[in-house]
């Protein structure tokens, strides 16, 4: 089948939406972030890619931030945190705030899962900065857990697709990771 080159600015990958919390000059602030990923296993390090935003100033100021996972019912509030800047609006009153061990990593009580992170490294790219934070603690509530771990069906996170800029909830479970491929392994030629 002939492939069509559709440019270099098309990312259909669903990106999980999070809210990044920081404190800037003493004021808590939250921003919507889609460019987020785990980037190291031990210690557990999460990375967020953030442009020239108010949040970036706060992370550089205090070397701490939070990653809050909103559920689908928080979608409009999450979107709002991506529309206005803390430079122009006080976004600290939009949520109930919770602090864990880090005093400059405000977390959102309404979110089912919250991580408090200590900045371990930042990498400046042309436009964005990659902020890598060691996850110090993850917070949740009993109602979002199954056998002590966050249950994705209870947490109900949502994703962004680009460049159409739309939000998506999750579909059905389709299999077990590190398991479904085993059925095919015998067909591989061992070296
Ligand atoms: C759906 C969505 C996803 C976004 N993802 C990012 C992102 O990954 N990185 C980024 O720098 N800005 C992202 N933004 C833009 C910021 O959230 C937005 O500029 C925000 O106003 C910054 O807030 P602040 O200035 O208070 O830090 C996103 C916005 C939306 C609506």
Question: What's the predicted TM-score (pTM) here?
Answer: 0.97
Q: Is residue 150 part of a domain?
A: yes
Q: Which atom of ligand 1 is nearest to the CA of 89?
A: 26
- Whether 51 is in the pocket of ligand 1, judged by its Cβ within 6 Å, is yes
Q: Is the pLDDT of residue 10 over 90?
A: no
Q: Is residue 9 part of a domain?
A: no
Q: Which two tokens stand for residue 66?
A: 């939070």
- For a mutational test of ligand 1's pocket, the pick from 49, 53, 163, i.e. the residue with the most ligand atoms closer than 8 A to its C-beta, is 53
Q: Is residue 3 part of a domain?
A: no
Q: Which atom of ligand 1 is nearest to the CA of 32?
A: 17
pLDDT in tens, 98-128: 999 999 999 999 999 999 999 999 999 999 9
Q: Is residue 162 part of a domain?
A: yes
* C-alpha pair distances (Å), 85 with each of 80, 110, 167, 168: 9, 20, 20, 24
CA distance 7 to 127: 20
Tokens 């919250």 label which residue?
114
- Whether 21 is in the pocket of ligand 1, judged by its Cβ within 6 Å, is no
Question: Where would I find the beta strands (DSSP E) of 4-99?
Answer: 11-16, 18-24, 27-33, 36-40, 45-50, 64-69, 97-98
Q: Identify whether the C-beta of residue 94 lies closer than 8 Å to the C-beta of residue 143.
A: no
CA of 42 to the centre of ligand 1 (A): 28
Q: Is residue 2 part of a domain?
A: no
Please tell me the total count of domains within the chain.
Answer: 1
Q: Give phi and psi for 21, each to the nearest 5.
A: -105, 140
pLDDT in tens, 131-150: 999 999 999 999 999 999 99
- Whether 117 is in the pocket of ligand 1, judged by its Cβ within 6 Å, is no
Distance of CA 157 to the CA centre of its chain: 10
Domain hosting residue 59, numbered range: 14-185
Write out the H or E segment, with its range, that includes residue 155.
helix 152-155
Provide the CATH number for the domain around residue 160. 2.30.110.10
CA distance 130 to 59: 11
pLDDT in tens, 14-68: 999 999 999 999 999 999 999 999 999 999 999 999 999 999 999 999 999 999 9
Burial of 30 (C-beta count, 10 Å sphere; 0-12/13-18/19+): buried
Q: Identify whether the C-beta of residue 19 lies closer than 8 Å to the C-beta of residue 12.
A: no
Q: Is residue 7 part of a domain?
A: no
Q: Is residue 23 part of a domain?
A: yes
Q: Is residue 1 part of a domain?
A: no
């Amino acid at each position: 089948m002939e492939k069509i080159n559709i440019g270099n600015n098309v990312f259909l990958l669903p990106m999980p939406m999070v809210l990044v919390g920081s404190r800037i000059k003493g004021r808590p602030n939250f921003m919507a972030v889609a460019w987020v990923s785990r980037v190291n296993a031990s210690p557990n390090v999460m990375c967020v890619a953030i442009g020239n935003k108010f949040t970036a100033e706060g992370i550089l100021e205090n070397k701490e931030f939070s990653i809050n996972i909103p559920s689908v019912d928080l979608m409009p509030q999450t979107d709002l945190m991506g529309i206005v800047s803390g430079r122009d609006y006080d976004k600290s009153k939009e949520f109930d705030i919770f602090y864990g061990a880090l005093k400059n990593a405000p977390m959102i009580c309404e979110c089912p899962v919250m991580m408090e992170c200590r900045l371990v490294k930042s990498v400046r790219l042309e436009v964005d900065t990659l902020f890598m934070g060691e996850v110090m603690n993850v917070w949740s509530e009993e109602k979002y857990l199954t056998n002590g771990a966050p249950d994705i069906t209870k947490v109900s996170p949502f994703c962004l697709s680009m460049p159409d800029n739309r939000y998506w909830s999750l579909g059905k479970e389709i299999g077990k990771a590190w398991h479904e491929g085993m059925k095919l392994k015998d067909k591989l030629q061992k070296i």
